[in-house]
Amino acid sequence: MPYYKYHGALLGFAAFKTHIGFFLGAIVSEFEDQLTGYETAKGSIRFPPEGRLPLPLIRKITRAGMKRNEAKTAAKKKVKPGRRR
């Protein structure tokens, strides 16, 4: 399964017989109201194989995931293990 990284794991996707799966982690819950009509799970979205993908929504969710990962990276850089200030 292809997976993109950006300051950590960002987005994975795969085609299945009955759906196209996007794997984004916990960020999916932030977009529940915009994902009505699609099957969702804790960290994934299932799009039907027929029809067009909602690319603007996918971009929006991906950008939110990028911001989340940037924030995690920044937080890790502030306090390095084993060092005292």
User: For residue 25, is it within any domain?
Assistant: yes
Cβ pair 8, 73 in contact under 8 A: yes
The CATH code of the domain that includes 73 is: 3.90.1150.200
Rounded to whole angstroms, the Cα distance separating 51 from 59 reads: 18
Considering the domain boundaries, does residue 50 fall inside one?
A: yes
Q: Is the pLDDT of residue 56 over 60?
A: yes
Give the domain range for residue 30.
Answer: 3-78
Domain count, the chain: 1
pTM of the model: 0.81
Q: Report d(CA 71, CA 53) in Å as an integer.
A: 28
Residue 49 has pLDDT above 80, yes or no: yes
Q: Are 11 and 65 in contact (CB under 8 A)?
A: yes
Of 64 and 27, which is predicted with more confidence? Answer: 64
Q: Is residue 85 one of the residues assigned to a domain?
A: no
Residues present in the chain in total: 85
Judge whether 65 lies within some domain.
yes
